[in-house]
């Protein structure tokens, strides 16, 4: 077994979701902080008079009164599952619509541990990013035939990596540990879907509202880092149980070749000459040495960062054309960039 320790610096806002949403009845925003309410905890801690008042409101089904009751409770943090910072514009939108039952200020939370309190970076998300880069490099080097049918598309990864079933998949021998983030590592921001006008070349935001709990990041002024481990099951590789061998140098090189080019691709196609250009330049000028590399993780990574160069053939819903928009936090920050640095440099030495 060989373990490589990575220090991961989140370069730009990152969102890994759960598929769930928080409605305005699930939370309260006070003083630029969003509190996710535990009604079970709330009921148990109320005095008898307040509990009776709450039960009467619930019986009437008056959701506005329910929201008002909860928002007026003192020490709301005691009844909360967790709290997270929100941007000023979201707080203002919430307060403006607090008495509007049609208020659909839905928020996508960041994935958390089973107890629901610690922010989680799943190892599977990081491993998926590594896998995409490795498959991209091998497919281009081997000049693998482009899939011509749904079945060939389904079998594409097996063809590239040369395995017959999951037992011989080389990434079976690679594990990436889950890691939790420090408290106060996230903030709720609006994610704006933008496209570049053919006439003005300016970025224009579509009307949809997307509110997500995202990480702080280097380009937003508050660095978030975490350490994780990539574990190579050397016995599986040495005994030829897997279709090919994988090691950290090859993974690093694959990631740099695949993801670094996406900095420049997005810059030229979307950000050059717009208000996002200075932010994009900061990302493009990130420095790397022979022990570091870049990956892209989470939702809003962009189709080019999750599909294979020269084999890319996504099928957007409702006949839309892929690759024509980007999703930017606050309409300004590209999403999901992470710099990884190998801390134990002896891991780079080939066996």
- Residue appearing with tokens 């063809």: 159
pLDDT at 213: 97
pLDDT at 320: 65
Tens of pLDDT, residue by residue over 258-287, are 999 999 999 999 999 999 999 999 999 999
Structure tokens at 235: 């016995």
- Residue appearing with tokens 């224009």: 204
Give mean pLDDT in consecutive 10-residue pieces for the chain, a chain of 351 residues.
Answer: 95 95 87 88 83 84 80 80 93 82 83 87 97 95 87 89 93 96 95 84 80 97 96 91 93 96 92 94 96 96 90 68 85 97 87 57
d(Cα 101, Cα 266) in Å, to the nearest integer? 40
DSSP result, 193-229: EEEE-TTT--EEE-S---EEEEE--GGGT--EEEEEE
Mean pLDDT for all residues in the chain? 89
Percent above pLDDT 90 for the chain: 59
Q: Which stretches of the chain are assigned E, i.e. beta strand?
A: 2-10, 27-30, 33-37, 80-86, 107-108, 120-121, 174-176, 179-180, 186-196, 203-205, 211-215, 224-232, 292-296, 325-329, 337-342
In contact, 6 and 226? CB cutoff 8 Å: no
SS (H, E, C) 180-196: ECCCCCEEEEEEEEEEE
d(Cα 83, Cα 22) in Å, to the nearest integer? 13
Among 216, 289, 293, residue whose Cα is nearest residue 259: 293
pLDDT at 347: 87
Neighbours of 181 (CB within 10 A): 20
Residue-wise over 39-55: b if at least 16 C-beta within 10 A, else e?
Answer: eeebeeebeeeeeeebe
pLDDT at 225: 97
- Going from N- to C-terminal start, the domains of the chain cover 2-18+120-344, 27-105
Tens of pLDDT, residue by residue over 80-97, are 889 999 999 999 988 887
pLDDT at 317: 64
214 φ, ψ (degrees, to nearest 5): -125, 160
pLDDT at 202: 83
pTM of the model: 0.91
pLDDT at 62: 79
d(Cα 169, Cα 147) in Å, to the nearest integer? 20
pLDDT at 230: 97
């Amino acid at each position: 077994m060989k373990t490589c320790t990575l220090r991961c610096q989140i370069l730009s806002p990152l969102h890994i979701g759960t598929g769930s949403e928080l409605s305005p009845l699930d939370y309260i925003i006070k003083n630029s902080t969003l509190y996710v309410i535990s009604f079970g905890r709330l009921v148990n801690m109320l005095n008898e008079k307040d509990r009776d008042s709450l039960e009467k409101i619930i019986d009437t089904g008056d959701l506005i009164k329910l929201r008002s009751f909860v928002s007026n409770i003192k020490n709301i943090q005691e009844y909360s599952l967790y709290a997270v910072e929100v941007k000023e514009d979201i707080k203002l939108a919430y307060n403006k619509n607090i008495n509007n039952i049609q208020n659909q200020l839905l928020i996508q939370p960041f994935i958390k541990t089973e107890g629901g309190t610690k922010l989680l970076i799943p190892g599977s998300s990081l491993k998926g990013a590594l896998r995409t880069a490795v498959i991209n490099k091998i497919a281009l080097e081997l000049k693998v035939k482009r899939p011509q049918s749904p079945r060939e598309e389904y079998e594409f990864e097996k063809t590239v990596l040369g395995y017959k079933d999951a037992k011989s998949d080389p990434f079976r021998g690679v594990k990436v540990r889950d890691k939790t983030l420090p408290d106060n590592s996230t903030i709720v921001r609006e994610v704006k879907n933008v496209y570049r006008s053919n006439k003005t070349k300016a970025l224009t935001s579509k009307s949809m509202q997307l509110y997500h709990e995202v990480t702080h990041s280097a380009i937003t002024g508050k660095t978030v880092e975490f350490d994780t481990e990539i574990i190579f099951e050397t016995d599986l590789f040495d005994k030829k149980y897997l279709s090919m061998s994988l090691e950290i140098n090859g993974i690093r090189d694959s990631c740099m070749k695949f993801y670094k080019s996406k900095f420049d691709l997005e810059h030229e196609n979307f950000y050059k000459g717009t208000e996002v250009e200075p932010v994009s330049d900061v990302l493009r000028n990130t420095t790397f040495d022979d022990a570091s590399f870049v990956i892209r993780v989470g939702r809003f990574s962009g189709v080019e960062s999750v599909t294979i160069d020269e084999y890319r053939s996504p099928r957007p819903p409702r006949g839309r054309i892929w690759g024509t928009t980007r999703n930017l936090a606050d309409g300004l920050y590209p999403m999901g960039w992470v710099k990884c640095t190998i801390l134990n440099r002896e891991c780079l030495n080939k066996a």
